[in-house]
A and B are shown apart, each in its own frame.
Chain A
Amino acid sequence: MGAMVDAWSWLTTGAHWTGTGGIGQRLGEHVFLTVVCLAVACAIALPVALWLGHIGRGGALAINISNAGRAVPTFAVLVLLTLSPLGRYALWPTLIALILFAIPPLLTNAYVGMREADRDVVEAARGMGMSGGQLLWRVELPLAFALVMTGIRAAAVQVVATATLAALPGGGGLGRIITAGFNTYNTPQVVAGAVLVAVLALAVEAALVLADRALDPMRRRARAVREPEPDTAPVPVGVAS
Protein backbone atom coordinates (compact mmCIF):
# COMPACT_ATOMS: atom_id res chain seq x y z
CA MET A 1 0.00 0.00 0.00
CA GLY A 2 2.99 2.26 0.70
CA ALA A 3 3.77 2.37 -3.03
CA MET A 4 0.32 3.77 -3.75
CA VAL A 5 0.76 6.52 -1.13
CA ASP A 6 4.15 7.47 -2.59
CA ALA A 7 2.68 7.46 -6.10
CA TRP A 8 -0.14 9.70 -4.92
CA SER A 9 2.24 12.23 -3.43
CA TRP A 10 4.28 12.13 -6.65
CA LEU A 11 1.10 12.80 -8.64
CA THR A 12 -0.02 15.66 -6.42
CA THR A 13 3.32 17.46 -6.64
CA GLY A 14 2.57 20.45 -8.87
CA ALA A 15 6.09 20.58 -10.33
CA HIS A 16 5.62 17.17 -11.96
CA TRP A 17 2.72 18.46 -14.06
CA THR A 18 4.39 21.36 -15.84
CA GLY A 19 7.42 21.92 -18.01
CA THR A 20 9.07 19.73 -20.65
CA GLY A 21 8.47 16.07 -19.95
CA GLY A 22 5.84 16.94 -17.32
CA ILE A 23 2.55 15.12 -16.97
CA GLY A 24 0.74 17.90 -18.86
CA GLN A 25 2.94 17.57 -21.93
CA ARG A 26 2.89 13.75 -21.91
CA LEU A 27 -0.87 13.62 -21.46
CA GLY A 28 -1.25 16.05 -24.35
CA GLU A 29 0.98 13.89 -26.57
CA HIS A 30 -0.92 10.76 -25.62
CA VAL A 31 -4.32 12.27 -26.35
CA PHE A 32 -3.05 13.82 -29.59
CA LEU A 33 -1.61 10.49 -30.80
CA THR A 34 -4.80 8.66 -29.83
CA VAL A 35 -7.19 11.05 -31.57
CA VAL A 36 -5.16 11.46 -34.77
CA CYS A 37 -4.34 7.78 -35.21
CA LEU A 38 -7.84 6.57 -34.37
CA ALA A 39 -9.29 9.03 -36.88
CA VAL A 40 -6.86 7.99 -39.63
CA ALA A 41 -7.39 4.28 -38.91
CA CYS A 42 -11.18 4.74 -39.05
CA ALA A 43 -10.89 6.67 -42.30
CA ILE A 44 -8.89 3.79 -43.81
CA ALA A 45 -10.61 0.74 -42.35
CA LEU A 46 -14.30 1.61 -42.05
CA PRO A 47 -15.09 2.42 -45.71
CA VAL A 48 -13.30 -0.75 -46.81
CA ALA A 49 -15.03 -2.92 -44.19
CA LEU A 50 -18.49 -1.46 -44.83
CA TRP A 51 -18.11 -1.89 -48.58
CA LEU A 52 -16.79 -5.47 -48.27
CA GLY A 53 -19.62 -6.24 -45.84
CA HIS A 54 -22.17 -4.72 -48.19
CA ILE A 55 -21.09 -6.76 -51.21
CA GLY A 56 -20.37 -9.79 -48.99
CA ARG A 57 -16.81 -10.45 -50.14
CA GLY A 58 -13.43 -10.57 -48.46
CA GLY A 59 -14.66 -12.03 -45.20
CA ALA A 60 -11.66 -14.32 -44.85
CA LEU A 61 -9.38 -11.31 -45.36
CA ALA A 62 -11.14 -9.21 -42.70
CA ILE A 63 -11.05 -12.00 -40.12
CA ASN A 64 -7.53 -13.21 -40.88
CA ILE A 65 -5.99 -9.74 -40.64
CA SER A 66 -7.42 -9.51 -37.15
CA ASN A 67 -6.07 -12.91 -36.12
CA ALA A 68 -2.66 -12.18 -37.60
CA GLY A 69 -2.60 -8.83 -35.80
CA ARG A 70 -2.82 -10.63 -32.49
CA ALA A 71 0.31 -12.68 -33.20
CA VAL A 72 2.52 -9.71 -34.08
CA PRO A 73 4.17 -8.20 -30.98
CA THR A 74 3.44 -4.47 -30.88
CA PHE A 75 6.70 -3.76 -29.13
CA ALA A 76 8.70 -5.53 -31.85
CA VAL A 77 6.96 -3.57 -34.62
CA LEU A 78 7.63 -0.27 -32.84
CA VAL A 79 11.33 -1.08 -32.46
CA LEU A 80 11.63 -2.36 -36.05
CA LEU A 81 10.03 0.84 -37.39
CA THR A 82 12.28 2.97 -35.20
CA LEU A 83 15.44 1.24 -36.46
CA SER A 84 14.25 1.41 -40.08
CA PRO A 85 14.97 4.50 -42.21
CA LEU A 86 11.64 5.89 -40.95
CA GLY A 87 13.20 6.26 -37.49
CA ARG A 88 14.87 9.46 -38.64
CA TYR A 89 11.48 11.20 -38.64
CA ALA A 90 10.67 11.46 -34.95
CA LEU A 91 6.90 10.86 -34.85
CA TRP A 92 6.42 8.62 -37.88
CA PRO A 93 7.30 5.19 -36.45
CA THR A 94 4.82 5.72 -33.60
CA LEU A 95 2.06 7.08 -35.85
CA ILE A 96 2.39 4.23 -38.35
CA ALA A 97 2.48 1.52 -35.67
CA LEU A 98 -0.55 3.00 -33.91
CA ILE A 99 -2.56 3.16 -37.13
CA LEU A 100 -1.53 -0.35 -38.19
CA PHE A 101 -2.60 -1.86 -34.88
CA ALA A 102 -5.92 -0.01 -34.80
CA ILE A 103 -7.02 -1.30 -38.21
CA PRO A 104 -7.67 -5.03 -37.49
CA PRO A 105 -10.38 -4.62 -34.82
CA LEU A 106 -12.08 -1.89 -36.90
CA LEU A 107 -12.03 -4.02 -40.03
CA THR A 108 -13.24 -7.23 -38.42
CA ASN A 109 -16.02 -5.78 -36.31
CA ALA A 110 -17.44 -3.56 -39.04
CA TYR A 111 -17.36 -6.43 -41.52
CA VAL A 112 -18.99 -8.91 -39.15
CA GLY A 113 -21.57 -6.30 -38.17
CA MET A 114 -22.54 -5.72 -41.80
CA ARG A 115 -22.78 -9.43 -42.53
CA GLU A 116 -24.85 -10.11 -39.44
CA ALA A 117 -27.45 -7.50 -40.34
CA ASP A 118 -30.66 -9.49 -40.57
CA ARG A 119 -30.79 -10.82 -44.16
CA ASP A 120 -34.61 -10.87 -44.16
CA VAL A 121 -34.71 -7.16 -43.35
CA VAL A 122 -32.13 -6.40 -46.04
CA GLU A 123 -34.06 -8.45 -48.61
CA ALA A 124 -37.30 -6.72 -47.61
CA ALA A 125 -35.65 -3.31 -48.07
CA ARG A 126 -34.34 -4.40 -51.46
CA GLY A 127 -37.84 -5.56 -52.35
CA MET A 128 -39.14 -2.10 -51.47
CA GLY A 129 -36.89 -0.76 -54.19
CA MET A 130 -34.00 0.63 -52.16
CA SER A 131 -30.79 1.19 -54.09
CA GLY A 132 -27.44 -0.24 -52.97
CA GLY A 133 -26.42 3.02 -51.33
CA GLN A 134 -29.73 3.44 -49.52
CA LEU A 135 -29.51 -0.14 -48.33
CA LEU A 136 -26.02 0.44 -46.95
CA TRP A 137 -26.76 3.75 -45.20
CA ARG A 138 -30.34 3.25 -44.04
CA VAL A 139 -30.59 -0.46 -43.30
CA GLU A 140 -27.27 -2.28 -42.95
CA LEU A 141 -25.26 0.42 -41.19
CA PRO A 142 -27.87 1.12 -38.45
CA LEU A 143 -28.13 -2.63 -37.85
CA ALA A 144 -24.34 -2.99 -37.77
CA PHE A 145 -23.83 0.10 -35.59
CA ALA A 146 -23.36 -1.74 -32.29
CA LEU A 147 -20.57 -3.94 -33.66
CA VAL A 148 -18.92 -1.07 -35.53
CA MET A 149 -18.76 0.82 -32.23
CA THR A 150 -17.34 -2.25 -30.47
CA GLY A 151 -14.58 -2.21 -33.08
CA ILE A 152 -13.92 1.50 -32.52
CA ARG A 153 -13.69 0.90 -28.78
CA ALA A 154 -11.26 -1.99 -29.24
CA ALA A 155 -9.19 0.12 -31.64
CA ALA A 156 -9.15 3.08 -29.24
CA VAL A 157 -7.95 0.91 -26.35
CA GLN A 158 -5.34 -0.56 -28.69
CA VAL A 159 -4.09 2.89 -29.69
CA VAL A 160 -3.86 4.08 -26.06
CA ALA A 161 -1.91 0.91 -25.18
CA THR A 162 0.42 1.17 -28.16
CA ALA A 163 1.05 4.87 -27.51
CA THR A 164 2.23 3.80 -24.04
CA LEU A 165 4.65 1.28 -25.54
CA ALA A 166 5.98 3.91 -27.94
CA ALA A 167 7.89 5.30 -24.95
CA LEU A 168 10.22 2.27 -24.93
CA PRO A 169 11.95 3.21 -28.21
CA GLY A 170 11.85 6.87 -27.20
CA GLY A 171 8.47 8.07 -28.50
CA GLY A 172 6.27 10.48 -26.58
CA GLY A 173 3.18 9.87 -24.49
CA LEU A 174 2.47 8.90 -20.89
CA GLY A 175 4.62 5.77 -21.17
CA ARG A 176 7.62 8.09 -20.95
CA ILE A 177 6.79 8.80 -17.31
CA ILE A 178 6.94 5.05 -16.60
CA THR A 179 10.19 4.45 -18.52
CA ALA A 180 11.82 7.55 -17.05
CA GLY A 181 10.92 6.25 -13.60
CA PHE A 182 12.43 2.87 -14.44
CA ASN A 183 15.68 4.44 -15.58
CA THR A 184 16.08 6.41 -12.35
CA TYR A 185 14.80 3.62 -10.05
CA ASN A 186 11.97 5.94 -9.02
CA THR A 187 9.20 3.47 -8.15
CA PRO A 188 6.62 6.07 -7.06
CA GLN A 189 6.97 7.71 -10.46
CA VAL A 190 6.61 4.35 -12.25
CA VAL A 191 3.41 3.57 -10.37
CA ALA A 192 2.08 7.11 -10.81
CA GLY A 193 2.68 6.88 -14.57
CA ALA A 194 0.95 3.52 -14.72
CA VAL A 195 -2.05 4.89 -12.82
CA LEU A 196 -2.28 7.82 -15.25
CA VAL A 197 -2.17 5.49 -18.26
CA ALA A 198 -4.73 3.11 -16.76
CA VAL A 199 -7.08 5.98 -15.91
CA LEU A 200 -6.74 7.44 -19.41
CA ALA A 201 -7.43 4.05 -21.03
CA LEU A 202 -10.52 3.53 -18.87
CA ALA A 203 -11.70 7.11 -19.50
CA VAL A 204 -11.41 6.65 -23.27
CA GLU A 205 -13.32 3.37 -23.04
CA ALA A 206 -16.02 4.97 -20.86
CA ALA A 207 -16.37 7.97 -23.20
CA LEU A 208 -16.89 5.65 -26.16
CA VAL A 209 -19.44 3.53 -24.26
CA LEU A 210 -21.41 6.72 -23.58
CA ALA A 211 -21.08 7.81 -27.22
CA ASP A 212 -22.32 4.37 -28.27
CA ARG A 213 -25.41 4.70 -26.06
CA ALA A 214 -26.16 8.22 -27.26
CA LEU A 215 -25.64 7.60 -30.97
CA ASP A 216 -27.01 4.07 -31.44
CA PRO A 217 -29.77 4.43 -34.07
CA MET A 218 -31.48 1.35 -32.64
CA ARG A 219 -31.52 2.65 -29.06
CA ARG A 220 -35.27 3.00 -28.93
CA ARG A 221 -35.72 -0.67 -29.66
CA ALA A 222 -36.06 -3.05 -26.75
CA ARG A 223 -32.56 -3.99 -25.63
CA ALA A 224 -33.60 -7.60 -25.13
CA VAL A 225 -34.21 -8.09 -28.84
CA ARG A 226 -30.59 -7.34 -29.62
CA GLU A 227 -28.97 -9.57 -27.00
CA PRO A 228 -26.39 -11.68 -28.85
CA GLU A 229 -27.08 -15.37 -29.22
CA PRO A 230 -25.12 -17.32 -26.60
CA ASP A 231 -23.39 -19.47 -29.20
CA THR A 232 -21.83 -16.55 -31.05
CA ALA A 233 -19.10 -16.52 -28.40
CA PRO A 234 -18.75 -12.88 -27.31
CA VAL A 235 -15.00 -12.65 -27.65
CA PRO A 236 -13.42 -9.23 -27.44
CA VAL A 237 -11.83 -8.71 -30.83
CA GLY A 238 -9.39 -6.15 -29.53
CA VAL A 239 -5.84 -6.94 -28.55
CA ALA A 240 -4.21 -5.80 -25.39
CA SER A 241 -0.69 -4.54 -25.85
Chain B
Amino acid sequence: MTSKGCLSANDWVCGEYVRSRGEELADATVQHVGITAVSVLLGLLLAFPLALLARRWRVAAGPVLGMTTVLYTVPSLAMFALLMPVFGVSVSVVIGGLVLYSLTVLVRNILAGLEAVPAEAREAARGMGYGPGRLLFSVELPLAVPALMAGVRIATVSAVSLTTVGAIVGYGGLGNLIYSGMESFFKTEVLTASVICVVLAVLADVLLLGVQRLLTPWARAGKAA
Protein backbone atom coordinates (compact mmCIF):
# COMPACT_ATOMS: atom_id res chain seq x y z
CA MET B 1 0.00 0.00 0.00
CA THR B 2 1.70 3.17 -1.10
CA SER B 3 0.63 6.29 0.71
CA LYS B 4 -0.27 7.94 -2.62
CA GLY B 5 -2.85 5.38 -3.68
CA CYS B 6 -4.45 4.82 -0.33
CA LEU B 7 -7.09 7.52 -0.78
CA SER B 8 -8.43 6.04 -3.99
CA ALA B 9 -8.07 2.50 -2.61
CA ASN B 10 -10.14 3.58 0.44
CA ASP B 11 -7.72 2.06 2.98
CA TRP B 12 -8.32 2.25 6.72
CA VAL B 13 -5.00 3.93 7.40
CA CYS B 14 -3.91 6.72 5.06
CA GLY B 15 -1.22 9.29 5.67
CA GLU B 16 -2.23 11.17 2.56
CA TYR B 17 -5.64 11.86 4.12
CA VAL B 18 -4.11 13.40 7.23
CA ARG B 19 -1.82 15.57 5.06
CA SER B 20 -4.49 16.79 2.65
CA ARG B 21 -7.30 17.26 5.19
CA GLY B 22 -5.20 18.49 8.09
CA GLU B 23 -7.19 21.70 8.38
CA GLU B 24 -10.54 19.94 8.49
CA LEU B 25 -9.24 17.57 11.17
CA ALA B 26 -7.85 20.46 13.21
CA ASP B 27 -11.13 22.39 13.00
CA ALA B 28 -13.13 19.36 14.11
CA THR B 29 -10.72 18.72 16.98
CA VAL B 30 -10.96 22.34 18.15
CA GLN B 31 -14.76 22.17 18.07
CA HIS B 32 -14.64 18.87 19.95
CA VAL B 33 -12.36 20.19 22.69
CA GLY B 34 -14.40 23.40 22.95
CA ILE B 35 -17.73 21.61 23.38
CA THR B 36 -16.26 19.22 25.95
CA ALA B 37 -14.51 21.93 27.98
CA VAL B 38 -17.50 24.29 28.06
CA SER B 39 -19.81 21.42 29.06
CA VAL B 40 -17.69 20.22 31.95
CA LEU B 41 -17.06 23.76 33.23
CA LEU B 42 -20.79 24.59 33.10
CA GLY B 43 -21.47 21.23 34.75
CA LEU B 44 -19.11 22.11 37.60
CA LEU B 45 -20.70 25.55 38.04
CA LEU B 46 -24.13 23.92 38.34
CA ALA B 47 -23.08 20.86 40.33
CA PHE B 48 -21.37 22.80 43.10
CA PRO B 49 -24.43 24.67 44.41
CA LEU B 50 -26.55 21.53 43.93
CA ALA B 51 -24.12 19.51 46.05
CA LEU B 52 -24.06 22.21 48.73
CA LEU B 53 -27.86 22.28 48.68
CA ALA B 54 -28.05 18.50 49.04
CA ARG B 55 -25.62 18.63 51.96
CA ARG B 56 -27.29 21.54 53.73
CA TRP B 57 -30.83 20.16 53.59
CA ARG B 58 -31.13 16.39 53.87
CA VAL B 59 -34.59 16.57 52.26
CA ALA B 60 -33.07 18.05 49.11
CA ALA B 61 -30.47 15.28 48.78
CA GLY B 62 -32.94 12.60 47.60
CA PRO B 63 -34.57 14.64 44.82
CA VAL B 64 -31.25 16.17 43.64
CA LEU B 65 -29.45 12.82 43.42
CA GLY B 66 -32.56 11.11 42.03
CA MET B 67 -33.10 13.68 39.29
CA THR B 68 -29.50 13.63 38.10
CA THR B 69 -29.47 9.82 38.09
CA VAL B 70 -32.65 9.70 36.03
CA LEU B 71 -31.10 12.13 33.52
CA TYR B 72 -28.07 9.84 33.25
CA THR B 73 -30.34 7.00 32.14
CA VAL B 74 -31.61 8.85 29.06
CA PRO B 75 -29.65 7.76 25.95
CA SER B 76 -27.61 10.55 24.35
CA LEU B 77 -29.36 10.51 20.97
CA ALA B 78 -32.70 10.90 22.77
CA MET B 79 -31.27 13.56 25.09
CA PHE B 80 -30.07 15.70 22.18
CA ALA B 81 -33.36 15.14 20.33
CA LEU B 82 -35.37 16.14 23.42
CA LEU B 83 -33.35 19.34 23.84
CA MET B 84 -33.76 20.31 20.20
CA PRO B 85 -37.13 22.06 20.60
CA VAL B 86 -35.64 24.03 23.53
CA PHE B 87 -32.45 25.26 21.86
CA GLY B 88 -33.17 24.76 18.14
CA VAL B 89 -30.51 23.11 15.98
CA SER B 90 -27.47 24.65 17.63
CA VAL B 91 -24.37 23.80 19.61
CA SER B 92 -26.38 24.50 22.80
CA VAL B 93 -28.23 21.22 22.26
CA VAL B 94 -25.02 19.23 22.59
CA ILE B 95 -23.63 21.32 25.45
CA GLY B 96 -26.95 21.17 27.30
CA GLY B 97 -27.06 17.39 27.03
CA LEU B 98 -23.47 16.95 28.16
CA VAL B 99 -23.97 19.32 31.13
CA LEU B 100 -26.98 17.29 32.27
CA TYR B 101 -24.94 14.06 32.05
CA SER B 102 -21.97 15.50 33.92
CA LEU B 103 -24.21 16.60 36.80
CA THR B 104 -24.77 13.02 37.99
CA VAL B 105 -21.11 12.25 38.43
CA LEU B 106 -20.07 15.70 39.65
CA VAL B 107 -22.81 16.19 42.28
CA ARG B 108 -22.20 12.72 43.72
CA ASN B 109 -18.47 13.15 43.88
CA ILE B 110 -18.51 16.66 45.35
CA LEU B 111 -21.00 15.46 47.97
CA ALA B 112 -18.93 12.37 48.78
CA GLY B 113 -15.79 14.50 49.01
CA LEU B 114 -17.34 17.04 51.36
CA GLU B 115 -18.84 14.35 53.56
CA ALA B 116 -15.52 12.56 53.87
CA VAL B 117 -13.87 15.64 55.45
CA PRO B 118 -12.88 14.52 58.98
CA ALA B 119 -15.04 16.09 61.69
CA GLU B 120 -11.83 16.91 63.61
CA ALA B 121 -10.58 19.12 60.77
CA ARG B 122 -13.91 20.93 60.74
CA GLU B 123 -13.91 21.36 64.53
CA ALA B 124 -10.33 22.61 64.53
CA ALA B 125 -11.10 25.22 61.87
CA ARG B 126 -14.19 26.32 63.78
CA GLY B 127 -12.13 26.58 66.94
CA MET B 128 -9.70 28.83 65.09
CA GLY B 129 -12.62 31.15 64.37
CA TYR B 130 -13.36 30.18 60.75
CA GLY B 131 -16.82 31.18 59.55
CA PRO B 132 -18.90 28.84 57.37
CA GLY B 133 -17.69 30.41 54.09
CA ARG B 134 -14.02 30.32 55.02
CA LEU B 135 -14.44 26.81 56.43
CA LEU B 136 -15.90 25.67 53.11
CA PHE B 137 -13.38 27.29 50.79
CA SER B 138 -10.14 26.94 52.74
CA VAL B 139 -10.66 23.66 54.60
CA GLU B 140 -13.46 21.48 53.27
CA LEU B 141 -13.10 22.15 49.55
CA PRO B 142 -9.33 21.51 49.38
CA LEU B 143 -9.82 18.25 51.28
CA ALA B 144 -12.59 17.28 48.85
CA VAL B 145 -10.37 17.89 45.81
CA PRO B 146 -9.42 14.23 45.18
CA ALA B 147 -13.08 13.08 45.09
CA LEU B 148 -14.08 16.14 43.08
CA MET B 149 -11.31 15.63 40.55
CA ALA B 150 -12.20 11.95 40.22
CA GLY B 151 -15.66 13.13 39.18
CA VAL B 152 -14.30 15.75 36.80
CA ARG B 153 -12.13 13.12 35.13
CA ILE B 154 -15.01 10.70 34.61
CA ALA B 155 -17.28 13.50 33.36
CA THR B 156 -14.62 14.78 30.95
CA VAL B 157 -13.72 11.43 29.46
CA SER B 158 -17.40 10.56 28.99
CA ALA B 159 -18.09 14.01 27.49
CA VAL B 160 -15.27 13.56 24.94
CA SER B 161 -16.82 10.33 23.70
CA LEU B 162 -20.45 11.57 23.87
CA THR B 163 -19.69 14.76 21.92
CA THR B 164 -19.43 12.58 18.80
CA VAL B 165 -23.19 11.91 18.95
CA GLY B 166 -23.70 15.67 18.52
CA ALA B 167 -23.08 14.94 14.83
CA ILE B 168 -26.84 14.34 14.58
CA VAL B 169 -27.34 18.12 14.86
CA GLY B 170 -24.10 18.95 13.09
CA TYR B 171 -22.12 19.93 16.20
CA GLY B 172 -20.24 16.78 17.05
CA GLY B 173 -16.65 17.89 16.50
CA LEU B 174 -14.84 14.76 15.34
CA GLY B 175 -18.22 13.03 15.31
CA ASN B 176 -19.09 15.11 12.24
CA LEU B 177 -16.19 13.50 10.38
CA ILE B 178 -17.23 10.03 11.58
CA TYR B 179 -20.78 10.74 10.41
CA SER B 180 -19.77 11.99 6.96
CA GLY B 181 -17.24 9.17 6.60
CA MET B 182 -20.00 6.70 7.45
CA GLU B 183 -22.30 8.07 4.74
CA SER B 184 -19.61 8.03 2.04
CA PHE B 185 -17.88 4.79 3.22
CA PHE B 186 -14.68 6.84 3.63
CA LYS B 187 -12.85 4.43 5.94
CA THR B 188 -9.77 6.43 6.80
CA GLU B 189 -11.86 9.48 7.75
CA VAL B 190 -13.83 7.37 10.24
CA LEU B 191 -10.80 5.64 11.72
CA THR B 192 -8.63 8.77 11.95
CA ALA B 193 -11.38 10.77 13.67
CA SER B 194 -12.13 7.88 16.05
CA VAL B 195 -8.49 7.51 17.01
CA ILE B 196 -8.07 11.26 17.61
CA CYS B 197 -11.18 11.09 19.79
CA VAL B 198 -9.74 8.35 21.99
CA VAL B 199 -6.39 10.15 22.15
CA LEU B 200 -8.20 13.33 23.26
CA ALA B 201 -9.95 11.43 26.05
CA VAL B 202 -6.70 9.93 27.30
CA LEU B 203 -4.86 13.28 27.09
CA ALA B 204 -7.65 15.03 29.00
CA ASP B 205 -7.51 12.37 31.70
CA VAL B 206 -3.74 12.66 32.10
CA LEU B 207 -3.96 16.46 32.12
CA LEU B 208 -6.60 16.42 34.85
CA LEU B 209 -4.55 13.99 36.88
CA GLY B 210 -1.70 16.52 36.66
CA VAL B 211 -4.03 19.32 37.80
CA GLN B 212 -5.10 17.20 40.75
CA ARG B 213 -1.48 16.64 41.80
CA LEU B 214 -0.84 20.39 41.59
CA LEU B 215 -3.93 21.12 43.69
CA THR B 216 -3.06 18.62 46.42
CA PRO B 217 0.66 19.04 47.17
CA TRP B 218 0.12 17.59 50.66
CA ALA B 219 -0.86 14.20 49.23
CA ARG B 220 2.53 13.89 47.50
CA ALA B 221 4.41 15.12 50.58
CA GLY B 222 2.72 12.40 52.60
CA LYS B 223 3.74 9.72 50.12
CA ALA B 224 7.37 10.84 49.94
CA ALA B 225 7.79 10.84 53.71
Chain A residues close to B by CB (< 8 Å): 2-4, 67, 70-77, 79-80, 82-83, 157, 160-162, 164-165, 167-169, 175, 178-179, 181-182, 187, 190-191, 193-195, 197-198, 201-202, 205, 230-231, 233-236, 238-241
A234-B112, A236-B104 known; A191 vs B190 contact (CB < 8 Å): no
Residue of A nearest to B194 (CB): A76
Which of A79, A236, A241 has a CB less than 8 Å from the CB of B181?
A: A79
* Interface residues of B, count at CB 8 A: 52
Which chain B residues numbered 66 to 125 have a C-beta less than 8 Å away from chain A? 69-70, 72-79, 81-82, 84-85, 101, 104-105, 108-109, 112-113, 115-116
Q: Is B43 in the interface zone, CB < 8 Å from A?
A: no
Name the A residues within 8 Å of B14 (CB-CB).
none
| B74 and A73 contacting across the interface, CB-CB below 8 Å | no
Which chain B residues numbered 151 to 179 have a C-beta less than 8 Å away from chain A? 151, 154, 157-158, 160-162, 164-165, 167-168, 175, 178-179
| B108 and A235 contacting across the interface, CB-CB below 8 Å | yes
A198-B78, A230-B112 known; A73 vs B69 contact (CB < 8 Å): no
A71-B157, A235-B108 known; A80 vs B191 contact (CB < 8 Å): yes
Name the B residues within 8 Å of A80 (CB-CB).
190-191, 194
Nearest CB of B to A168, in Å? 7
Q: Is B213 in the interface zone, CB < 8 Å from A?
A: no
Name the A residues within 8 Å of B202 (CB-CB).
71
Q: Is B33 in the interface zone, CB < 8 Å from A?
A: no
Which of A71, A190, A238 has a CB less than 8 Å from the CB of B201?
A: A71
Name the B residues within 8 Å of A71 (CB-CB).
157, 160-161, 198, 201-202, 205
- The listed residue with most B CB atoms (<10 A of its CB), out of A3, A79, A157, is A79
A161-B75, A230-B115 known; A235 vs B105 contact (CB < 8 Å): yes
Nearest CB of A to B166, in Å? 10
Sorted from nearest, which 7 A-B pairs have the closest CB atoms? A3-B85, A161-B75, A194-B81, A76-B194, A71-B201, A73-B161, A197-B78
CA distance A67 to B208 in the complex (A): 15
Nearest CB of A to B69, in Å? 7
Name the A residues within 8 Å of B215 (CB-CB).
none
A187-B85, A201-B73 known; A76 vs B112 contact (CB < 8 Å): no
Give 12 pairs: A residue, B residue, CB < 8 Å, sorted on A.
A71-B157, A71-B202, A75-B165, A76-B164, A79-B181, A79-B190, A83-B181, A168-B168, A187-B84, A191-B84, A193-B78, A194-B77
| 0/1 string, B185-212, CB within 8 A of A gives 1 | 1010011011001100110010000000
